[in-house]
Structure 1
Amino acid sequence: MDFSTHKRYHVHGFDSRQFLEHYFSDKSEMVFGDDTLKFVIENLRQVFSGGHINGDILIDLSSGSIIHHLYSACEFFKNIIVLKVNNRCIMELKRWVDERTGAFYWGHTSKLLQEKEENSDQFQDQEAKLRSALQHVVKCDLEKENMTDPLVLPLADCIISTWLLGVISKDQDDYIRYLRKFSRLLKPGGHIISIGTLGTTYYTVGKDKFHVFTFDEDFLRKSLIGEGFIIDYCNVKDRMAVSDITDYKAVIFIAAHKEK
């Protein structure tokens, strides 16, 4: 595929609100809920409940202004640092954190988590907990050696990357380069959780089509192992949604830890 015919997420940016409406809202025409919402929340709940992934610092490197993948995380980490490549996504995220008028509604996603818990009452204030944890939102430049220069971040116990690696990478070498750069933010023995789509070439936001590097499960596994990770958990869900605004074949959730 000639990726040059499509826009690039971290180069051109996109309408962050439209991105949320297309792929993460509670609107009846949003057909991706099983893949982008339920699948993500259920798998994160499962890996965190195992008790092996926790600590002081979690760094989130994810596409757009999504927050639902961090509901479970705020129960297991003292601090969550969110890195974003463009100002529009930062503004959208902070609008929700600060409970400003017009912020995107995420209540439907916190309810999905509550439905999975035996005692859902304890999650009634889940959004408040997450807002409290999301006080560190930092602009980053993916091409710099230190992505947050001049700020030097403490090493993280865990990194979550949701739908980002695929949209910023041109090819296999690019993907591995970014994965290596992300992994440098981890402590020895730290964990990485990667969520993405398989067999994708594009996704649409508004009238614009954006590039996605096409890869399969085998490539992702080999990339992680090649960078010194041991895979602890992997789940793949075939696509059921019918829509032409993106062409992914499946969604993948993979958790691994870095060898000491």
Structure 2
Amino acid sequence: MSKATRKSNTRLRKKHFSNDKLNMLVDTLAAHAEEINQQNLKREVQQRKKEIWEEVARNVSAVCTTLRTVKDCGVKGETLIDMGAGPCTIQLLSAANSFNEIIVADYTERNCRELEKWWKNEPGAFDFTAFAKRVCEMEGNRQTWIEMEENLRRTIKQVLRCDITKCNPLAPIVLTPVDCLLTNFCTENVCTDEKSFCEYLKNMTSVLKPGGHLILTALLECTVNIMGKHRLPSFPLTESFARIALIDTGFAIRYFKVLPSTDDSPEPLTDHTGILFVLARKEL
């Protein structure tokens, strides 16, 4: 091999070596950058989860306060239905002491499955311990949170699908009219205008017997709910229209209260101005 050829091969090896090192360096930097991005994303997700649960906790406390007020009004009976329950049961912890049986209903199959997992204490069920402890504190610690949860599990008798846009929201099931209907943040997030709000309210409350009670909580003047990347529209319900709708549907209002919104987070999940709490008796 000539001297010129050896020099050429040496330069070529050095060039290849240099390119290999450069590629390794680029790959290492890219992996490090991806790791940093993932860490930042994880922190953002954790912060967002914290904000979401703080909002949930505020709403839970508000709902529990209302249910305590309802209890003070002597609302009790044989059967309560929670319609539009979502995947949650914490709103029913107090109610389990006032009714002999509870039926939980929601529109989506996924939510119903989550409800069943908690009800049957299956592996993978969501852990509501922190919220149950909060409810216990608000109830004066007359029961432990474990006793409260077990009492609710015993009181729940059915988990059903529902669709409040139908005349019989539990179709094809037809139930004997019940003593109490509980619905939280449901109707205003399904309807599109005043007419459909009244229609869906009438559909839901068709499950109530005359003299039965409606317990309703709703977001006031809310136009959007933010769920991850999704922006879900909401009907901007007002206090005055809520009163009219209830009276026109045949209810006598026993308790009507508005809790102003205290959500000052930089990225709120809704744009509501307050939460409405209603206890009403079915007259017709």
C-alpha distance in 1 between matches for 2:136 and 2:115: 22
1:37 counterpart = 2:60: yes
Task: Classify 1:102/1:123 alpha carbon distance in 2 versus 1 (closer, same or farther; 3 Å).
Answer: closer
1:70-149 correspondence runs (5 A)? 70-121=92-143, 124-149=146-171
State the match for 2:195 in structure 1.
173
8 Å contact kept, 1:191–1:256 = yes
Task: Classify 1:197/1:144 alpha carbon distance in 2 versus 1 (closer, same or farther; 3 Å).
Answer: closer
Task: Classify 1:116/1:153 alpha carbon distance in 2 versus 1 (closer, same or farther; 3 Å).
Answer: same
C-alpha distance in 1 between matches for 2:93 and 2:216: 16
Q: Secondary structure at the match of 1:31?
A: helix
2:238 to 200, 216, 232: 216
Q: Which structure has the larger Rg?
A: 2
Q: Secondary structure at the match of 1:244?
A: coil
C-alpha distance in 1 between matches for 2:73 and 2:234: 32
Of the structure 1 ranges 243-252 and 69-78, higher mean CA displacement relative to structure 2 is found in 243-252
Q: Secondary structure at the match of 1:247?
A: coil
By how many angstroms is 1:119 displaced? 4.4
Of the structure 1 ranges 126-135 and 145-154, higher mean CA displacement relative to structure 2 is found in 145-154
1:239-254 correspondence runs (5 A)? 239-241=261-263, 242=265, 243-254=267-278
Please list the CA deviations of residues 137-162 of structure 1 after superposition, one character each: whole Å capped at 9, or x if unmatched: 11123333322223211101010111
Q: Secondary structure at the match of 1:137?
A: strand
1:187 to 198, 201, 209: 209
TM-score normalised by the chain length of structure 2 = 0.77
Structure with the higher fraction of residues in helix conformation: 2
TM-score normalised by the chain length of structure 1 = 0.84
State the match for 2:90 in structure 1.
68
RMSD: 2.1
C-alpha distance in 2 between matches for 1:114 and 1:246: 28
8 Å contact kept, 1:62–1:84 = yes
Q: Secondary structure at the match of 2:217?
A: strand
By how many angstroms is 1:57 displaced? 1.0
C-alpha distance in 1 between matches for 2:250 and 2:164: 21
Of the structure 1 ranges 161-170 and 136-145, higher mean CA displacement relative to structure 2 is found in 136-145
Amino acid at match of 1:69: Q
8 Å contact kept, 2:84–2:162 = no
Q: Secondary structure at the match of 1:176?
A: helix
C-alpha distance in 2 between matches for 1:119 and 1:92: 27
Q: Which runs of 5+ in 1 are unaligned?
A: 1-20
1:230 to 249, 252, 275: 252
Task: Classify 1:160/1:170 alpha carbon distance in 2 versus 1 (closer, same or farther; 3 Å).
Answer: same
Q: Which runs of 5+ in 2 are unaligned?
A: 1-44
State the match for 2:14 in structure 1.
none
Runs of 4+ in 1 over 4 A off after TM superposition: none
Please list the CA deviations of residues 101-146 of structure 1 after superposition, one character each: whole Å capped at 9, or x if unmatched: 2221211221122112344346540011111222301112333332
> How many aligned residue pairs are there?
236
8 Å contact kept, 1:198–1:248 = yes
Of the structure 1 ranges 27-36 and 245-254, higher mean CA displacement relative to structure 2 is found in 27-36
C-alpha distance in 1 between matches for 2:51 and 2:231: 23
State the match for 2:283 in structure 1.
259
1:147-166 correspondence runs (5 A)? 147-166=169-188
Task: Classify 1:50/1:143 alpha carbon distance in 2 versus 1 (closer, same or farther; 3 Å).
Answer: closer
